[in-house]
Structure 1
C-alpha cells in the first residue's frame, strides 16, 4: 500500500518539460529599433555646475551667528530652577527604598479603615 502511494506521488510530480518557468529567456529584451551606440548623459557636468553655484551662494550669504541674549530675570529664574532641582535630587537620594516603604506604611496606619489598602512590603 505504501509503495503504491509513493509511486503515485512521483508520477504526479511535474517534470521540467511541463514547468512553464523552465523555458524562460534569461537574456535582455531585444527591441526592433535598438541603437547600439548610446549617447553620453550630461548629468555629472550639470551636478558639478549646480554644486559650484550653491557653494558660491552659501559663501555670499554667510550670516553672523545669532546668540540668545537672556535678561537678568531669565538668568535668575534658570539659576533658581537648577537649585530647586538639585535640592529635590538630594532629598530623594537621602532616603533608601526601605525607609520610604516604612514611612508609607506608617501613613497608612494613621488613616481610617475606610481607606484601608494592604501594607507594602519591601521583601516582595
Structure 2
C-alpha cells in the first residue's frame, strides 16, 4: 500500500489567482526623440545606399539569350495581334458571335426546368 502513495503530490495546491504567482513585468521606457533621430539617420543612410547601388546595378544587369529575346518578340507580336482583333469588332458583333456559339452547343448544356407543378 505504501507504493500507491509514493506517486501522490504532497503539499498545498497552488492556484492561479495566488498573488505570489503574479509578477509584474518592468517596462523600459524609451525616449521618443532618440527613436526619431535613429529613424532619420537610418533613412538617410538607406537613401545614400540606394543612390550608390543604382549606378552599380546597371553594370550587373542580366543579358537575355537569343532564344529569350525571340520568345519575347513573339509574345509581343501575338499580344498586339489579339488587341487588334478585339479592337476591330464591336460589342454587338461579339455578342452575336457568342450567341451563334451557344446555338451550336448541344442541349446537354441547357438548364432543365425544376418546377414540380408542371
Scaled by the length of structure 1, the TM-score of the pair is: 0.41
Structure with more relative contact order (C-alpha pairs < 8 Å, separation 6 or more): 1
Determine which structure has the larger helix proportion and give its number: 2
Scaled by the length of structure 2, the TM-score of the pair is: 0.43
